[in-house]
Amino acid sequence: MTVKRDLAIGALLACGVALLPFTVQSGAVLNAVILTLFAALLGQAWNVLAGFGGQFSFGHAVFFGTGAYASAVLQIRFGVNAWAALALAVVAGAAVGAIIGVLTFRYQLRGSYFALVTLAFAEVFRILANTFPFTGAGVGMMLPLSKAAALQFPSRTGYLYLVLALVGIGFAVHLWLSHSRYGAWLAAVRDNEQSAAALGVDVFRVKLRAIVISAALMASGGVFYLQYLHYIDPGIAYGPTISVEALLGPIVGGLGTVFGPLLGAVALHALSESTRNLLGDTPGVSLALYGVVLILMVRYMPQGLAGLLARRKR
């Protein structure tokens, strides 16, 4: 069965990454791997809702930022343990997902309307985070470095394992979606809501569940960002960069496929690393390049890299 094959490939990749710290000493390389996995995690989160569920969000940063801020506020203002803060932040992200889901899906917003509303939510949250002293307003929040604190590691290896574990959870969710009743219902809703309803699928609940799962994964990405870089501000947490990062990988890698977000993240990071040497660090160049790649992919390869591999195999 394809489940076993996908699981085997996933486990093999995970082992490969887990062994990296023993063979590679270079911090720059480990950093690149960590950032690639981080991008894959955001892509997985977005892929659950958009790739499997057909609901294209342009504002996934709203979940990312909520996760990051919830964890930061809990740790810094209330002295909550980082692990507990991680769990609560994921719950907070999922709750925001549920609220946005109820509001948009109850009123049957689809396509570009749904995309615009999610974008608006991210903007509203950015402005709110920018306003209240509670969240550090425009200054942002700094997570103090501490050897005693949980979820802070002396070397990159710890962060690598943390993000690898989160991507592993995302991968498990992807496997479940591609081989389960819920996944079949979600794909049915994506392809034709009317037909799905006629076949006994509760369209509203299926979509709601997808946005909650997607938001929870995205929030865990926000927490990871905070733990790794120790700093968060409204522009980073709720700005469009994160929303774009989340959608770019799956579109390039293959929408609604198990390996799409991973493939996309690897391809895009390889591209940006290799062109950085060519084009230098001029701000905006990599974004312009991403734009070109996105247009080319949508135009010539709508199935993404995963689609290309599948076709090669037939």
Residue among 92, 50, 52, 79 at smallest CA distance from 222: 92
Nearer to other proteins, 73 or 196 (CB): 196
The phi and psi torsions of 141 (rounded to 5 degrees) equal -130, 135
Q: How far is the CB of 108 from other proteins (least distance, A)?
A: 13
Q: How far is the CB of 12 from other proteins (least distance, A)?
A: 24
Task: Say whether residue 196 binds other proteins (CB under 8 A).
Answer: yes
The distance of Cα 110 from the centroid of its chain, to the nearest Å, equals 21
Q: How far is the CB of 192 from other proteins (least distance, A)?
A: 5
Task: Say whether residue 35 binds other proteins (CB under 8 A).
Answer: no
Among 202, 274, 288, 296, binds other proteins (CB under 8 A): 202
Task: Say whether residue 40 binds other proteins (CB under 8 A).
Answer: no
Where would I find the H helices in 24-149?
Answer: 27-47, 61-78, 82-106, 111-131
Residue pair 249/40 in contact by the 8 Å Cβ criterion? yes
Which residues, other chains included, contact 194 with Cβ-Cβ below 8 Å and sequence gap of 6+?
Answer: none
Residue pair 119/235 in contact by the 8 Å Cβ criterion? no
| Beta-bridge partner residues of 103 | none
Task: Say whether residue 81 binds other proteins (CB under 8 A).
Answer: no
Among 180, 241, 274, 275, binds other proteins (CB under 8 A): 180
Nearer to other proteins, 67 or 304 (CB): 304
Q: How far is the CB of 191 from other proteins (least distance, A)?
A: 4
Task: Say whether residue 314 binds other proteins (CB under 8 A).
Answer: no
What span, in angstroms and rounded, lies between the C-alpha atoms of 143 and 89?
15
Task: Say whether residue 200 binds other proteins (CB under 8 A).
Answer: yes
Note the residues at the interface with other proteins (CB under 8 A): 179-181, 184-185, 187-188, 191-192, 194-203
